[in-house]
Amino acid sequence: MSTHDAAPDAPVRFDTRIAVLLREDLETWQRLNVTAFLVSGLGSQFPEVIGEPYEDADAVGYLPMFRQPVLVFEGTKETLTRAHARVLSRALPRALFTSDLFATGNDRDNRAAVRAVATAELDLVGLAVHGPKNAVDKVLKGARMHP
């Protein structure tokens, strides 16, 4: 988060961005599933992106969530391939989801399915990235905000 917190009610500005890029030809259930899987690892690797736990007026507690927005984009298969190359060249933290993962049913098989395919041959359907805002924006060049 930015250190420009001049007033308690001023808008919070973040120096980093969390973004998900989905292939445009996915079905709705696939888009939701892929997004959930992609962002699930960020909190364990970057605890600073997680806020404080929630509590309602009756003191019922809820788990903490990301403390900043997750931007969701979509693009063609080619857009995803270019974004993947850019994220690798910039060595930004990333998660990926390939079409092969729709046919697996557990984490072990998911990892094996990715491991079985060379980087250049991955059939990407989703990519998540976290990093400085302008670096993430450059990775996502050519993608459009998800409708």
pLDDT of residue 3: 43
- Residues contacting 104, CB < 8 A, separation 6+: 110, 112, 113
Burial group, residue 69, by CB count within 10 angstroms (0-12, 13-18, 19+): exposed
pLDDT of residue 1: 45
List alpha helices for 41-106, DSSP H. Answer: 42-45, 77-89
pLDDT of residue 7: 65
Q: Please, what are the averages of pLDDT over each run of 10 residues along the chain (147 residues)? A: 56 88 96 95 87 96 94 96 97 96 94 97 97 95 90
